[in-house]
Every structure is written in C-alpha cells, then in structure tokens.
Amino acid sequence: MPRPKHCRYVSAAPCVDLFKPRGVPLRDLEEALLSVDELEALRLADMEGLTAIEAARVMRVSRHTFGRTLASARRIVATALSRGMALRIGGGSWALHGPHGHCCEGAPAFGADDGPHGPQCRCPRCSGLAAGAEAPAPSASTSIQYHSANPAPSGTALPVENAAQGRPSLSEPKEHTMQKIAISAEGPTLEDWVDPRFGRAGGFVTVELPERKLDYIDNGASQIMAMGAGIETAERMAAAGVQVVLSGYVGPKAFDALRAAGILICQDVEGITIGEAIENFVAGKYPFAEASNK
C-alpha cells in the first residue's frame, strides 16, 4: 500500500489558475496541468532566487523532494510554452502557511481540490484565515519541545549489557533512553516522513533524549555520490555524536561502518512520521539489529 504523499506548504494560493495563447479558443487547446506546489517551487527558485536548501525548508520538504518538484514544474511549463498549450494551475498535495505560524501543521491539507477562493482558505484545525503569511522556516539549531503522550519514565536505565558480547542485548525490544538518536528523514520537522533509505536519505532529524532537543543534519552530499553513500553517511552520523540510527534499509557496508563507530541500528522503520518513530523508539518498540537488511 503506497504511503500518503506528504503535504507541501505554499505561501499563497494562486492568483490565477489558467494561462493560454492569445486568440485561440480554450476548447481548441491541449492543456498542461501545473500543481500548486510545483508553482511554489518555481516561485521560490526562479523568482525569489532561493537555494534548494532554503526553498525546501520554506516548503517543509527534503531537498531531494524539492528538486524533483522543481524539475517537474520546469518541464511542464517548458512543454506548455513550446507546444502552445494552455497551462492550468491547480491540484497537488499542499496547504497554505497559516497566519499563526505553525498552527496548521498536522491539519488536513486544504486547497488541493477546491480552488483558491473557497472555504479551504480557512485552516481546518484552528479555523484561522490563511492569508498567505509565511511561517518561519525550521531552524537547525532550534530546540523544539515535543510533548509525548507516553513519556519515558525518568531514570530509565540503558539496555542491560551482554557480558559475553560486551554490548547491549539485541534480541528483545526494550525501552530506550539513549542520549542522541538520528532518524533518516524526508524533511526537518516531526511531521515529515521517515526516509526509508539510509545512505541516500535527504537528511536526518536528530533528537537528544530525554530533553528531546531537535536538530537536522543535511545529507545532500551523499545523495549525489555514485558509490560509497552509505559509508559517507555513517561517518557523518559518527561525527555528529549519534548513538542510535533509525531507518528503513541499511546496507551491509553502511551497517558495518555504523557498528565500527559504536552506533546501534534500528531497521525497517518506514511509513510513519518522525514524531511517531521517536515515540515508538522511546516505548521500546524497535529492537537493535544484529545484521544489515538483505
């Protein structure tokens, strides 16, 4: 079952929803469809001149996702112009930045189907009117207080040491309170999805427990490597002082590099948000892996 597409945030609804060649009736034209999030990617990159990292943070997606969205938008616009097609703007998985900053995070996406001027311009969670005010981009150094419905009890010890192996017992899930964990992520917020890839993940959200201080490590350099992305990413985790990695797939070489650095691995973590992965880890739902994914 495919996971739902993560919502992309835009600063304002489109002011017009159709462009066409002059003097040609619309009924005689082919149409190209540009989604609202693709239009926002064009605006941020080609009108505002933001870098991929800056624009991705404004839209609250990974740099990889922003790059794919921008490439698609440019292709659609180029096709419409070169073939004399009408360009219609609409659809996509998007929501307006709310006037109350992050108040709309976690609310259902609105504006995706109903057009730019209907009731979707009011946040379905807080009922605030979304007037296109841009929410602050998440800061890599910002400490975010994340409230758990089931916080780990204070004073919980680390997993019991295995005397024969000299390392934590890996056979059974335990309640974890490691100091610093890293989750492969499609974006920098708790509402972003876990990236199932380790070596070529867009980035990693790190969380210091028990304070739950949130930070983000960009992994874009590893995405463009022809070979060795997993080892490079493992070295990046070690340099950041990470003690546990949560991801979907960790290849053999990356697994060995992480273990050599003393980093424990929880695999098969995917199809959920970063916040959900953190809660599952704290609740002891993820065992430590003894071998890499096959």
Terminal Cα distance for the chain, rounded: 21
Phi, psi of 268, rounded to the nearest 5 degrees: 60, 30
CB 286 within 8 A of CB 269: yes
* Helix ranges, the chain (H): 36-42, 52-59, 63-83, 220-223, 229-239, 252-260, 274-282
Q: What is the C-alpha to C-alpha distance for residues 99 and 256, in angstroms, rounded to an integer?
A: 47
- For residue 167, the model assigns a pLDDT of 42
**pLDDT value at position 124?**
45
Distance CA 187, CA 7 (A): 11
pLDDT tens for the chain, 294 residues: list them.
445 556 788 888 888 889 999 988 888 899 999 999 999 999 999 998 888 888 888 888 888 788 888 988 999 999 999 999 999 998 887 887 654 333 344 444 444 333 333 333 444 444 444 433 333 333 333 333 322 333 333 333 333 333 333 444 444 444 444 589 999 998 899 999 999 999 988 899 999 988 899 999 988 887 777 788 889 999 999 999 999 999 999 989 999 999 988 999 999 999 999 999 999 999 999 999 988 876
User: Alpha-carbon torsion 167, 173, 174, 177, what sign?
Assistant: positive
How high is the pLDDT of residue 294?
A: 62
- Domains annotated on the chain, with CATH: 8-121 (no CATH), 161-282 (3.30.420.130)
Task: Give the pLDDT of residue 267.
Answer: 92
Does the predicted model carry a pTM greater than 0.85?
no
CA–CA dist 92, 40 (Å, integer): 11
- Calculate the CA 216 to chain-centre distance: 11
Could you give the dihedral angle defined by the CA atoms of residues 95, 96, 100 and 104, in that order, rounded to the nearest 10 degrees? Answer: 0
- What sign does the dihedral 231-233-234-239 (CA atoms) show? positive
